[in-house]
């Protein structure tokens, strides 16, 4: 009889007892943090939701993609209801900026935009052009798109990096109630 190496038995024993080499994935959740704008002393709440890259940007991406929403808390807003200040998709790498001609030209103005394709759950893919952030590694989410995104279970987004290569991200959307309440983007009116 040939002896069985002990090294092979240990992984088999762990598998038979139900141990897994991979830790269980935590459900996604909105992280909240209180921030203060040093310039004018106002306080706001930052909601952050991390996603994952399905197709990563070339080179190093120091962080995961994320949705970042800055909101004025209800107690500090005009009508005692939370109000959205800004909403953005943060990718962490330079994005391709396209210049869109406005419908009505007054001089030689063109608007910088980021081409964003997104799919909510199993719905048809939508294509929009969002305004880039000042650092060109993020894009501002329009209010109508944000309301749809908050109601989805899964959101898949595609943007192009500054070389024109696609970056694909996925977000598993948690309960939208804290964001809807804290930012006044309740879609049930």
List beta partners, residue 170.
52, 156
Residue 27 has pLDDT above 90, yes or no: no
Beta strands at 98-100 and 83-90: parallel, antiparallel or unpaired: unpaired
Q: Which is more confident, 19 or 112?
A: 112
One-character DSSP codes across 54-108: EEPPSS---S--EEEEEEE-GGGSTTSS-EEEEEEEE-SSPBPPEEEPPSS-SSS
Per-residue pLDDT band for 42 (boundaries 50, 70, 90) equals confident
Residue 6 has pLDDT above 60, yes or no: no
Q: Mean of the per-residue pLDDT values for the chain? A: 83
Distance of CA 116 to CAs 126, 158, 168, Å? 8, 6, 10
Per-residue pLDDT band for 78 (boundaries 50, 70, 90) equals low
Q: Which is more confident, 69 or 7?
A: 69
pLDDT at 108: 63
Q: Give the pLDDT mean for 6-28.
A: 48
Q: For residue range 149-185, what is the model confidence (pLDDT) as tens digits?
A: 999 999 999 999 999 999 999 999 999 999 998 898 8
Q: Give the pLDDT mean for 110-134.
A: 95
Residue 104 has pLDDT above 80, yes or no: no
What architecture is domain 31-183?
Answer: Sandwich (2.60)
pLDDT at 106: 64
What residue spans define the domains of the chain? 31-183
Q: By three-state DSSP, how is residue 17 classified?
A: coil
pLDDT at 63: 84
Distance CA 137, CA 92 (A): 5
Q: For residue range 44-72, what is the model confidence (pLDDT) as tens digits?
A: 999 999 999 999 988 766 789 999 999 99
* pLDDT over 90, % of the chain: 57
Distance of CA 106 to CAs 42, 103, 114, 129, 155, Å? 36, 10, 22, 21, 37
């Amino acid at each position: 009889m040939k002896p069985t190496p002990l090294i092979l038995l240990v992984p088999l024993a762990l598998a038979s007892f139900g141990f897994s080499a991979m830790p269980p994935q935590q459900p996604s959740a909105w992280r909240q943090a209180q921030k203060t704008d040093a310039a004018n002393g106002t306080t706001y709440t930052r909601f952050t939701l991390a996603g994952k890259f399905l197709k990563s940007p070339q080179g190093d991406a120091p962080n995961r993609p994320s949705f970042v929403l800055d909101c004025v808390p209800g107690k500090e807003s005009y009508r005692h209801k939370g109000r959205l200040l800004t909403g953005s998709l943060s990718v962490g790498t330079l994005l391709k900026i396209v210049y869109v001609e406005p419908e009505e030209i007054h001089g030689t103005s063109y608007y910088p935009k980021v081409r964003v394709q997104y799919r909510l759950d199993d719905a048809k893919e939508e294509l929009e052009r969002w305004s880039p952030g000042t650092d060109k590694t993020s894009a501002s989410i329009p209010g109508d798109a944000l309301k749809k995104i908050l109601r989805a279970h899964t959101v898949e987004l595609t943007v192009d990096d500054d070389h024109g290569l696609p970056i694909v991200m996925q977000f598993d959307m948690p309960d939208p109630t804290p964001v809807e309440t804290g930012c006044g983007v309740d879609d049930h009116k």
